């Protein structure tokens, strides 16, 4: 089925956006990314390590996967804006997954700093994809600020707790005019399917694949889960009933 | 002169350009960004950006994450 994901006018054949953190080696990551079918993948920006061997950038380039730098590790708008500017310079992209977290224990977004950073980056010409709380009001404010997508969390980063507040995700989807991307909290393929059934345009995940016992196989499971959930959303589920509805003819 | 490159002190016999400071860490021709005292400097200007004693240089690249 031809059903591309559209973000800021750019088309992606896959609705699974991958993170790259957590695999034991670049080789394992490479195979997982291939199995996931992803066309958009996040990287972090860190100090150059002269001893590092291999590069995640080379791997993504070889697979034709678009790079989405994040601002992981930033606690203030000023830090995030500076890191995004460095990423734009290093990677020649004005796309950024904007992450401004409040504390290390929860890694939850700081909504005040997040919105401020989004406004500054958009004014500077960035295409901003913010990692946000599952708060419909904040999602609306981020969209009004000009974000190209909103990326509410299902649960805290790396927690694998799934979608803790599906009602809020539905509320965000209902009112959003930009793609809603479920970001963080996915534990297994059914979580990804549920996100898509709720109407999300895509799912962004890393830990559930990269730290799975078999990352490559879990990546394949996520690809199928996202596709299954998307198809189910488009097909339209039957209403829930309190009593039975016979599926065989009652007479004859 | 003495500058700080990614948090570590670096001694140079003479003047140091930003391009030379980056070269201490990497020879990569792409995928790297540099800032001096917090201000991002475009790659095209690295050669002509002279460092001053005590300048703090940050050199970043993409790593696995997110």
The sign of the CA dihedral A224, A229, A235, A238 is: positive
| Mean pLDDT along residues A212-239 | 97
Nearest to B6 among A23, A47, A70 (CB): A47
State the DSSP string of B1-50: -EEEETTEEEE-SS--BHHHHHHHH---SSSEEEEETTEEE-GGGTTT-B
Cα–chain-centroid distance for residue A233? 18
| Mean pLDDT along residues A220-233 | 98
Nearest to A19 among B31, B34, B65 (CB): B65
> Residue A55, CB half-sphere, CA atoms under 13 Å: how many?
19
Cβ <8 Å between A45 and B62: yes
State yes or no: pLDDT of A237 exceeds 80: yes
Closest Cα in chain A to B42:
A89
pLDDT, chain A, mean: 95
So what's the pLDDT on residue A144?
Answer: 98
Cβ <8 Å between A45 and B58: no
Q: At residue A17, what are phi and psi to the nearest 5 degrees?
A: -105, 130
Closest Cα in chain A to B24:
A50
Q: B56-64 and A127-132 as β-strands: parallel, antiparallel, unpaired?
A: unpaired
Residues of A with active-site annotation:
97
Query: Which residue positions in chain B have pLDDT lower than 70?
Result: none
pLDDT digits (tens, 9 = 90+) for A24-77: 889 999 999 999 999 999 999 999 998 887 889 999 999 999 999 999 999 999
Q: How many of the other CB atoms lie within 10 Å of CB of A103?
A: 9
So what's the pLDDT on residue A250?
Answer: 83
Cβ <8 Å between A23 and B64: yes
State yes or no: pLDDT of A23 exceeds 90: no
Percent of chain A with pLDDT over 70: 100
Three-state DSSP class for B54? coil
pLDDT digits (tens, 9 = 90+) for A90-135: 999 999 999 999 999 999 999 999 999 999 999 999 999 999 999 9
Percent of chain A with pLDDT over 90: 91
Lowest mean pLDDT among A18-22, A133-137, A164-168: A18-22
| Mean pLDDT along residues A154-166 | 96
State yes or no: pLDDT of A206 exceeds 80: yes
Q: How many of the other CB atoms lie within 10 Å of CB of A188?
A: 15
Please list every residue in chain B whose beta carbon sits closer than 8 Å to the beta carbon of residue A57.
31, 61-62
Q: Is the pTM of this model over 0.80?
A: yes
Tell me if chain A has a CB within 8 Å of the CB of B58: yes
So what's the pLDDT on residue A54?
Answer: 80
Tell me if chain A has a CB within 8 Å of the CB of B65: yes
Residue among A72, A136, A116, A67 nearest A98 (CA): A72
Counting one residue from chain A and one from chain B, the pairs whose CB atoms sit within 8 A come to 99
So what's the pLDDT on residue B37?
Answer: 96
So what's the pLDDT on residue A221?
Answer: 98
So what's the pLDDT on residue A64?
Answer: 95
Helical pair A189-197 and A215-235, crossing angle rounded to 10 deg = 20
CA torsion A41-A46-A50-A51 (nearest 10°) is -70
Q: Which residues contact B9 (CB under 8 A, 6 or more apart)?
A: B2, B3
Residue pair A101/A108 in contact by the 8 Å Cβ criterion: yes
So what's the pLDDT on residue A189?
Answer: 98
Q: Rounded to whole angstroms, what are the CA distances from A106 to A18, A76, A133, A153?
A: 21, 16, 12, 12
Closest Cα in chain B to A17:
B66
Tell me if chain A has a CB within 8 Å of the CB of B63: yes
Residue among A103, A126, A101, A125 nearest A113 (CA): A101
Distance CA A197, CA A174 (A): 13
Tell me if chain A has a CB within 8 Å of the CB of B26: yes
So what's the pLDDT on residue B23?
Answer: 92
Please list every residue in chain B whose beta carbon sits closer than 8 Å to the beta carbon of residue A85.
40
So what's the pLDDT on residue A19?
Answer: 95
Identify residues of A whose CB sits under 8 angstroms from chain B CBs.
19-23, 26, 29, 42-50, 52, 55-57, 67-70, 72, 82-83, 85-92, 97, 99, 206
Tell me if chain A has a CB within 8 Å of the CB of B14: no
So what's the pLDDT on residue A224?
Answer: 98
């Amino acid at each position: 089925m031809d059903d591309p994901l559209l973000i800021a006018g750019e088309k992606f054949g896959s609705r699974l956006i991958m993170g790259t953190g957590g695999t034991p080696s670049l080789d394992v990551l490479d195979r997982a990314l291939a199995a996931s079918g992803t066309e958009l993948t996040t990287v972090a920006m860190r100090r150059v390590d002269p001893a590092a061997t291999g590069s995640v950038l080379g791997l993504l380039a070889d697979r034709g996967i678009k790079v989405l730098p994040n601002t992981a590790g930033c606690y203030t708008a000023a830090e995030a804006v500076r890191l995004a500017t460095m990423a734009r310079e290093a990677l020649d992209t004005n796309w950024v997954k904007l992450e401004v977290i409040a504390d290390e224990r929860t890694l939850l977004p700081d909504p005040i700093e997040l919105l401020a950073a989004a406004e500054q980056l958009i004014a500077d010409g960035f295409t901003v994809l913010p990692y946000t709380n599952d708060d419909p009001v904040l999602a609306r404010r981020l969209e009004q600020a000009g974000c190209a997508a909103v990326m509410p969390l299902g649960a805290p980063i790396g927690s694998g707790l799934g979608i803790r507040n599906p009602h809020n995700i539905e509320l965000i989807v209902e009112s959003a005019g930009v793609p809603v991307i479920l970001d963080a909290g996915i534990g297994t393929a059914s979580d990804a399917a549920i996100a898509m059934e709720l109407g999300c345009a895509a799912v962004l995940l890393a830990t559930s694949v990269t730290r799975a016992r078999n990352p490559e196989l879990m990546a394949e499971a996520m690809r199928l889960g996202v596709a299954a959930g998307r198809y189910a959303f488009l097909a339209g589920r039957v209403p829930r009933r309190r009593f039975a509805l016979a599926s065989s003819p009652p007479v004859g | 002169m003495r500058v700080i490159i990614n948090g570590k002190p670096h001694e140079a016999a003479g003047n140091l350009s930003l391009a030379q400071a980056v070269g201490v860490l990497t020879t990569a021709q792409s995928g790297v960004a540099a800032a001096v005292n917090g201000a991002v400097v475009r790659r095209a200007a690295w050669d002509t950006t002279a460092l001053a004693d005590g300048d703090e240089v940050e050199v970043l690249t993409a790593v696995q994450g997110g």
